[in-house]
Amino acid sequence: DAKTTQPPSMDCAEGRAANLPCNHSTISGNEYVYWYRQIHSQGPQYIIHGLKNNETNEMASLIITEDRKSSTLILPHATLRDTAVYYCIVPSGTYKYIFGTGTRLKVLA
């Protein structure tokens, strides 16, 4: 089973920040949190990952709570092209990615 839970869907206005939450309450001390997105049934695209510090790259920011039991992916200025299903994943074993149901983000014009 997936180690993460996410809301099934969210809407966001174009140009606004999209904040996507994820719960991973059973995460172990050395396990990373990864975020991917899938657009129109293409292959999942890597966004960002982190261990315990907040991370930022050209696509997004990742905020991980101090107890590491939850995290939030932030798309700072959502565009229509960010409409996708977003998956939060904590790999189990050796790089095995078990996908949950993800969050279907719809960016509204």
Q: In the complex, which residues of this chain contact another protein (CB under 8 A)? A: 34, 36, 41-46, 49, 85, 87, 91, 94-102
Q: Kindly tell me which of 14 and 55 has the beta carbon lying closer to another protein.
A: 55
Q: Kindly tell me which of 68 and 102 has the beta carbon lying closer to another protein.
A: 102
What sign for the dihedral angle of Cα 60, 9, 78, 40? positive
Q: Kindly tell me which of 14 and 49 has the beta carbon lying closer to another protein.
A: 49
Length of the chain counted residue by residue: 109
Side-chain half-sphere exposure of 33, counting CA atoms within 13 A:
32
Distance CA 44, CA 31 (A): 20
Q: How far is the CB of 16 from another protein (least distance, A)?
A: 26
Q: How far is the CB of 46 from another protein (least distance, A)?
A: 5
